[in-house]
């Protein structure tokens, strides 16, 4: 079996529906993504790599529909390709997007109907559709507010953190700041949706607990990148800002998945972004 980017998928929690909206894909050599422990990616039957042995991750956003609300969790990478080439890489490694808006429209949702974007963190593959590729400050989601933690915002707003190829671009920061709403632990940006701090991957990373009448889900952003990090929470992703903290966060998420009957929504997982605990 080989891995593929996940397709459009739905999860009905009762009164709240989550839909994974694909934007593109990510491919990288396992030993680049996980400098230590990459044998867990290829050797344990988890079906995480393609025919060339490259780790495959999905890239996209989660659409949340509840009553007349239309909310996105994260905003994809945009119509762009970010090369992830390292010395010694033998196959093409990249993050690539472009399909988010057409997939949203196929679901019957126009960008102007999105009334909030909840941001797990501000890496490039989570804010890419907020603006356009010309770098203008005209927002794609013209009626949206942007929810982000103060820790995440202040880190990326520092001039010395500008220019990071996997960080947000200037126009994306400007768009967020024009209608920015603060997220803190327990913030409830809409009914049944709660912010859960999941620091480590970035300084202010946050997950979202979604509580419907028939089930609960935890949208984890990049607190967990691929299923191997649930089996081995001690795995450190190459891009984790604070590795020990990221590991503590993953251990807690793995516990909640196993013990609390919550459905994990991990938008980078290949093939299916939804996982039920055992």
Binding site for Zn ion (CB under 5 A): 125, 222
Among residues 69, 61, 75, 73, the alpha carbon closest in space to that of 15 is found at 69
CB of 124 to Zn ion, least distance (A): 8
Comparison of 16 and 273: residue with beta carbon closer to Zn ion: 273
What is the rounded distance in angstroms from the CA atom of residue 222 to the CA atom of residue 240? 9
CB of 268 to Zn ion, least distance (A): 6
C-alpha distance across the termini of the chain, in Å: 22
SS (H, E, C) 196-210: EECCCCCCCCEEEEE
CB of 125 to Zn ion, least distance (A): 4
User: Considering Cα of 136, then 139, then 145, then 151, what sign does the dihedral take?
Assistant: negative
Comparison of 233 and 267: residue with beta carbon closer to Zn ion: 267
CB of 241 to Zn ion, least distance (A): 12
Contact 66, 22 (CB under 8 A): no
Comparison of 29 and 222: residue with beta carbon closer to Zn ion: 222
Contact 168, 129 (CB under 8 A): no
R_g (Cα) of the chain, nearest Å? 17
CB of 222 to Zn ion, least distance (A): 4
Residue 63, beta-bridge partner list? 19, 72
Residues 6+ apart with CB under 8 A from 86: 29, 32, 93
Residue labelled with tokens 């996980």: 34
CB of 261 to Zn ion, least distance (A): 26
Rounded to an integer, what is the distance from CA 263 to the centroid of its chain? 16
């Amino acid at each position: 079996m080989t891995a593929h980017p996940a397709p459009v998928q739905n999860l009905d929690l009762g009164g709240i529906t989550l839909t994974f909206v694909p934007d593109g894909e990510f491919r990288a050599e396992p030993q680049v993504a996980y400098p230590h422990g990459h044998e867990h990616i290829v050797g344990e039957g988890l079906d995480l790599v393609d025919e060339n042995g490259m780790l495959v991750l999905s890239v996209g956003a989660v659409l949340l529909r509840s009553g007349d609300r239309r909310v996105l969790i994260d905003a994809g990478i945009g119509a762009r390709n970010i090369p992830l080439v390292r010395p010694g890489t033998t196959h093409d490694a990249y993050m690539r997007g472009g399909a988010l808006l057409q997939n949203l429209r196929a679901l019957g949702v126009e960008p102007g109907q999105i009334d909030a974007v909840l941001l797990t963190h501000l890496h490039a593959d989570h804010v890419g559709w907020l603006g356009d590729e010309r770098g203008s400050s005209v927002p794609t989601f013209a009626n949206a507010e942007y929810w982000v933690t103060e820790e995440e915002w202040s880190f990326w707003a520092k001039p010395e953190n500008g220019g990071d190829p996997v960080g947000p671009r200037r126009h994306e920061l400007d768009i967020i700041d024009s209608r920015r709403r603060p997220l803190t632990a327990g913030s409830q940006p809409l009914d049944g949706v709660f912010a859960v701090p999941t620091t480590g991957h970035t300084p202010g990373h946050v997950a979202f607990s979604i509580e419907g009448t028939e089930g609960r889900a935890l949208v984890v952003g990049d607190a967990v990148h691929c299923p191997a990090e649930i089996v081995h929470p001690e795995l450190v992703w190459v891009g984790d800002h604070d590795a020990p903290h990221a590991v503590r966060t993953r251990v807690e998420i793995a516990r909640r998945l196993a013990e609390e009957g919550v459905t994990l929504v991990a938008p980078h997982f290949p093939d299916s972004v939804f996982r039920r605990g055992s």
